[in-house]
A and B are shown apart, each in its own frame.
Chain A
Amino acid sequence: MHVVIAKVDEVLYRGEAHSLTVPGVAGEMTILGHHEPVITTLKKGDVRVKATASADPQIIPIDGGVLEVNASSATVIL
């Protein structure tokens, strides 16, 4: 799954990832590959990206944002 996490002036993460955990407005959700297409708003919290199943997650604190997921990629805009 290709993951992009971007601010207006900076790309915080770009690359392949095993899983992506985000603070959705309806509760925390974890996205793996081949997730159903979804667009949701995010609230304040931490975004965690794991490059592989066993890797330590990379933690990115956010104030809010929007997540878009389709079959092959996930995009978080802050």
Chain B
Amino acid sequence: MASLKQIKGNIAAMKKSQAVTRAMEAVAAAKMRKSQQRALAGRAYARAAATVLARVSGTRDVHLHPLAMTNTAAPRGLYIVITSDKGLAGALNSAVLKGAVSDMAREGLSPKDVSVIAIGKKAHDYFASRGFTIMHHVSNTDMLSSEDTRTIIARAQERYMGGEYRFVKVAYQNFVSTFEQRPTLRGVFPLAIEELTKVVADIVPAKGADAESESVAPTTYTIEPSAEEVIGAIMPRLASVILYHALLESQASEHSARMVAMKSASDKAGEKQHELTLKFNKARQAAITREVSEIIGGMEAVAH
């Protein structure tokens, strides 16, 4: 049986771990709220961009833009994979990585046919050690801004327009609720209007305090300088909306997954503490009993 001192030490250690996991839980909860607020701030833009595209597409065929067409002949695929930098968040990252890899198998691509833009250290480590080409790597912090996503999109767009890739996809963890995140894969290029409407619909709530009223679109617009120019300007912006929101979703997911993981760690630490305290009391009682019987044994020996 462990000594009293040892058990006491274990209880103290458990208390300390619980304090740490409690603190991490609180931090994750605060960060999660912040990510959600950032997602709300981006809604006006996503909605406006999608509206403009919808109105322009009424007048001219958007599907003929090079960013909307598939490079069927290109042998390679480009994946933008978003994971967290740090662990301690349950199965969050492995689910995204697994999703991306199984999609590569579906597309019939081997590691040498795939380039990866890794956002987050876990994605970088995973793909770099398996022989994939890492085209670009940034860490996934709360400081990532829309400028960063625009730079990434500009790179991807340039290569895509050059006919190097058949498609550009983004793999991330979609935030459903605090307790549920879903690994998600979305196409970025070729840009499809249906995909965009889905993204915007996810961002803009249909009703409630955050809903916005729909303005009625007039039928004819004067388009300057030309529909092609406007479509060319709006498409990369919409692509960066998709990426930016994937980033926010994955950050919200990361923080909530960590919050839940830390909560169960705190609970477990509390349980363990209780268990150890019981063990400590038992051991102490046993020691007292032993001492008493030794004293009585000694007295008996002296008396006879």
Contacts and interface: CB of A to CB of B under 8 A. Distances in A.
A64 interface: yes
B222 A25 contact: no
B179 interface: no
A55 interface: no
Contacts of B215: 70, 72-73
B225 A40 contact: yes
A21 interface: no
Interface string B106-123: 000000000000000000
Given A39-B55, A39-B224, A41-B233, A71 B44 contact: no
A14 B44 contact: yes
B49 interface: yes
B240 A8 contact: yes
Given A8-B244, A39-B221, A64 B233 contact: yes
How big is the B interface, by class?
20 to 34
B222 to A, nearest CB: 4
A38 B45 contact: no
Given A8-B244, A9-B42, A66 B221 contact: no
B234 A11 contact: no
A66 B146 contact: no
The residue in B46, B49, B233, B234 that gathers the most chain A C-beta atoms within 10 A of its C-beta is B233
B223 A38 contact: yes
B234 A70 contact: no
A37 B224 contact: no
B96 interface: no
Contacts of B223: 38-40
Given A8-B244, A9-B42, A9-B146, A68 B48 contact: yes
Interface of B: 38, 41-42, 44-46, 48-49, 51-52, 55-56, 145-146, 149-150, 215, 217-218, 220-225, 229-230, 233-234, 237, 240-241, 244
